[in-house]
């Protein structure tokens, strides 16, 4: 069941959503497994990005250290 509706911020008139009571939906298929797979892929990508940033910072720190030592 869904009572969602959108209102115009100036006129306060309803501009979208159900006008005849709640919308009722019947679940036909679950996509929970797909969402878990997408979530895992996003987490992996985030970890990879964090690793890339860490290695970039480490590379800059090492380059700065060697520049001072020479």
Question: Could you read off the pLDDT of 8-67 as tens digits, one per residue?
Answer: 999 999 888 877 777 778 888 888 888 888 888 899 999 999 999 999 888 888 877 765
Across 49-58, b (16+ Cβ under 10 Å) vs e yields: eeeeeeeeee
Cα 38 versus chain centre, distance: 10
User: Where are the domains positioned within the chain?
Assistant: 5-69
């Amino acid at each position: 069941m869904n009572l969602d509706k959108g209102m115009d911020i100036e006129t306060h008139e309803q501009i979208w959503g159900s006008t005849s009571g709640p919308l009722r939906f019947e679940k036909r298929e679950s996509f929970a497994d797909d969402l878990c797979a997408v979530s895992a892929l996003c987490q992996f990508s985030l970890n990879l990005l964090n690793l890339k940033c860490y290695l970039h910072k480490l590379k800059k720190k090492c380059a700065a250290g060697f520049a001072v030592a020479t």
